[in-house]
Structure 1
Amino acid sequence: MMQWREGVVVREVSAWPGAVEYAVRLGSETDPGEEVRALAYTAMVGRPEPGDRVVLNASALLKGLGTGGLAFIVAMPDRLPVDAPESDGHIVKARYTPQQQMFLAVDEQDSPHHHVLRDAESIDGMPVVVADLHSALPAIITGVRIVRPDARIAYVMTDGGALPLAFSRAVAGLKEAGWVTETITVGQAFGGDHEAVSLHSGLLAARHVVGADVTVVVQGPGNVGTGTPWGYSGVAVADALHAADVLGGTCIAALRVSGADPRPRHRGISHHSTTAYGKALLSPAIVPVPAGGGELAALVRTQAAKLAERSRADLDIVEIGTEGVLEALRQSPVKLSTMGRGLEEDLAAFVVSAIAGVCAAQRISER
Structure 2
Amino acid sequence: MSRALDSSVKEALKHADHGKVFRDIVSAVNQRFDSFLEFEVLGLSHPLEPGISYLQDENAIAIPKLCLVQAFLMARETLNGGIGIVKSENFQTIRDCTAVTLLLDPEHLTAANLRKKVLENEINTNTEEIQSLLNAEKYFVDSLLTSRLHRHTKSPTLWNHRRWVIDQANRRGLLGDIEQDLKDVVFVSGVRHPRNYYAWCHARLLVDIGTPDRELLSRLVTAAESWCFSHHDDISGWAFLHFLLAKCPELAPTAVDKALKLTQSFQWRNESVWCFLRGVATLGRADITQQVVSHAAIGLKASQRDGDEGKSLEQALWWLETYGANE
Higher helix share: 2
Normalising TM by the smaller chain, what interval? 0.3 to 0.5
Higher strand share: 1
Q: TM-score, normalised to structure 2's length? A: 0.37
Larger radius of gyration: 2
Q: TM-score, normalised to structure 1's length? A: 0.34
Greater relative contact order: 1 or 2 (C-alpha under 8 angstroms, separation 6 or more)?
Answer: 1
